[in-house]
Structure 1
Amino acid sequence: MPDSSEANIATADALTLLLHNQHAIGAAIEEISKWLSENGVGSGAANAMAAMETLDTNAQGITDAIMRLRQS
């Protein structure tokens, strides 16, 4: 069984990959939001921006967790 340090590194690495995915999803939502706004679908664009805010908030929490794991 790996020690807690190895487990923390593996967990931090997995969270880092998830964070990269979250940033990619955010970029895609931003592009969709821009397209919606340019094509007169303001309510859809507003909903997409609300989703972006959630992604940003959660990304900070994930980043904090990664940093704690990497320091332990």
Structure 2
Amino acid sequence: MPNSDLLPSLLFKINENQLALEAAIMELTLWVEQRGATEVGGNVRGALETIDKNEEFIKMTLAVLMTPE
């Protein structure tokens, strides 16, 4: 398998890791907010919005890269 064939799989796994981290951070955010730190929670949610905004583009691009020629 050429190295170029590994790139889409690598990017897919990196994206999976990113989404798992997003989920874990959101769990911590909920925990923090329940304890009254709503400003911190809001800041974290704002930062996580970037992941949400980019997710559709990442999925579409990975689908194109993983499509056999």
TM norm structure 1: 0.79
CA contact (8 A) 1:36 1:45 kept: yes
- 1:1-16 matches, within 5 Å, as 2=2, 7=4, 9-16=5-12
Counterpart position of 1:41? 37
Q: Distance in 2 between matches of 1:70 and 1:18?
A: 14
User: Residue by residue, what CA displacement relative to the aligned partner does 1:33-62 show, whole Å, maximum 9, x if unpaired?
Assistant: 101110111111001111221111222222
Equivalence map 1:9-24=2 (5 Å): 9-24=5-20
Q: Work out the number of aligned pairs and report it.
A: 67
Q: Distance in 2 between matches of 1:20 and 1:59?
A: 11
User: Separation in 1 of the partners of 2:26 and 2:39?
Assistant: 14
Letter in 1 for 2:21: I
SS at match of 2:52: helix
RMSD: 1.5
Unaligned runs of 5+ in 1: none
Calculate the TM-score normalised by the size of structure 2. Answer: 0.82
Higher relative contact order (CA 8 A, sep 6+): 1
